[in-house]
Amino acid sequence: MGAHVDMYAEARAELVRAVEATGALADPAWRAAFAEIPRHLFVPYYFVGRPGGFERLWGEDPDPARRVRWLEGVYADQPLATRMRDGDLVSSSSQPSLMARMLAELEIRDGHAVLEIGAGTGYNAALLAHRLGDDLVTTVDLDPEITESARTHLTAAGRHPAVVTGDGARGCPAHAPFDRIIATCALPSVPRDWLAQCRPGARILAPLSTGLISLEVRDATHAEGHFLHTSAYFVPLRGGPAAPLPRNTGGLPRHVLENELFRFLLGLTAGGLDPHDALALWHRERRPERERFGVTITADSEWAWLDDPQGPYAWPLAGR
């Protein structure tokens, strides 16, 4: 048993060093959370791609070599596919360094109440609970299998935040108001219900297109903010509206369609800009980075924009 404890502790310390090397653990409180919360308790098994399908690695495998592979993957700075259904990924454990950047961006303070949309394995909720205490953290997911599994993992790690089965697009009014909302699933737009459950001055951090929007909430119907520089790829929110596929991309150069920043722009403009117009904008503005884009939400509209919410480049978000 002691050898196992030492092995897990050593692997966890190595993960902390790897995440720290990215610059994502400047806050000692988050460093302590990653150092003390054992990720292996939240991913007792996961799936890795192989020709023709997926391979399942798990911590109780009778083959010692496969157990080592499982542990190495658990404590690598990489996302892990944790739940498959009919060949499709429905839940995952995000890349730890991305999780650390998102948590840092929330600018959490003592006493803040946080809502997480997308329970996943429960690992992110455990990190939040370590920082704030169990009573100030709520995580919600539509899938009862996911919430039950997350609750089991959290209990094994000695954490007991509220784990709620419900439609994340509707937030969690029973536990509101919140000072921070963090979504760990991709969205076509930001649900209005979230704003209504926030205190004035709250912050919402959510994946849109292939980026992360950081919104400051003014009141129940108004919020605005910019995208972070980093890219982000998440499993889509279930229960909410589906993001439409970009229309009419025929004729666009392949190298452009494969460009990560242009794919971000395509996803962000899918609700109100033709892909060929998006390409013209992209060239005219010299391939703008994500942080030049933002989102504004008012009582009756929600739109994305480049540089200025009232400027010439603005369009409605998909799903609105």
pLDDT at 319: 62
> pLDDT over 90 for what percent of the chain?
78
Mean pLDDT of the chain: 92
For the question of residue 91 being annotated catalytic, the response is yes
The pLDDT value given to residue 88: 76
Max intra-chain CA distance, the chain: 64
pLDDT at 75 over 90: yes
* Cα 288 from chain centre: 23
Which of 76 and 247 is assigned the larger pLDDT? 76
With 50 as the cut, is the pLDDT of residue 4 above it?
A: yes
Sign of the C-alpha dihedral computed for residues 278, 279, 283 and 288 taken in this order: positive
Where along the chain do the CATH 3.40.50.150 domains lie?
2-227
Q: What confidence category does residue 1 fall into, taking pLDDT thresholds of 50, 70 and 90?
A: very low
| Omega of the bond leading into 191 within 30 degrees of 0 (cis) | no
Question: Is the CB of residue 193 less than 8 Å from the CB of residue 170?
Answer: yes
Residues 6+ apart with CB under 8 A from 215: 190, 203, 204, 205, 206, 223, 224, 225, 295, 297
Split at pLDDT 50, 70, 90, the class of 118 is very high
pLDDT for res 272: 80
Separation between Cα atoms, residue 110 and residue 112, nearest integer Å: 6
From the CB of residue 320, how many other CB atoms can be counted at a distance below 10 Å?
A: 16
On whether the CB atoms of residues 140 and 116 are closer than 8 A, the answer is: yes
Is the pLDDT at 20 greater than 90? The verdict is yes
d(Cα 137, Cα 9) in Å, to the nearest integer?
A: 26
Query: What was the pLDDT predicted at 186?
Result: 87
Give residues with Cβ within 8 angstroms of 225, minimum separation 6: 204, 213, 214, 215, 216, 294, 295
Grade residue 3 by pLDDT with cuts at 50, 70 and 90: low
Structure token digits, residue 165: 């089965």
Structure confidence at residue 66 as a pLDDT band (50, 70, 90):
very high
Say which range, 3-17, 105-119, 218-232, 286-300, has the weakest mean pLDDT.
Answer: 3-17
Name, in order, each residue with C-beta under 8 angstroms of 184's C-beta and a sequence gap of 6 or more. Answer: 94, 102, 116, 117, 118, 120, 124, 207, 234
At 87, the pLDDT band (50, 70, 90 cuts) reads: confident
Q: Which CATH number fits domain 2-227: 3.20.20.120, 3.40.50.150, 3.40.50.1820, 3.40.50.1970?
A: 3.40.50.150
Neighbours of 14 (CB within 10 A): 14
Catalytic entry in 91, 92, 97, 214: 91
With bands split at pLDDT 50, 70 and 90, how would you rate the model's confidence at 233?
Answer: confident
Average pLDDT over residues 59-78: 96
pLDDT in tens, 119-173: 999 999 999 999 999 999 999 999 999 999 999 999 999 999 999 999 999 999 9
Contact 270, 247 (CB under 8 A): yes
The reported pLDDT for the residue numbered 311 is 94
Residue 238 has pLDDT above 70, yes or no: no
According to the model, what pLDDT value does residue 15 have? 97
pLDDT (0 to 100) of residue 99:
96
List beta partners, residue 176. none
- pTM summary value: 0.92
Give CA–CA dist 239/291, Å, rounded: 28
Determine the residue type at 25: L
Pairwise CA distance, residues 304 & 309, whole Å:
8
Q: What is the pLDDT of residues 256-306, one digit of tens each?
A: 989 999 999 999 998 788 899 999 999 999 999 999 999 999 999 999 999
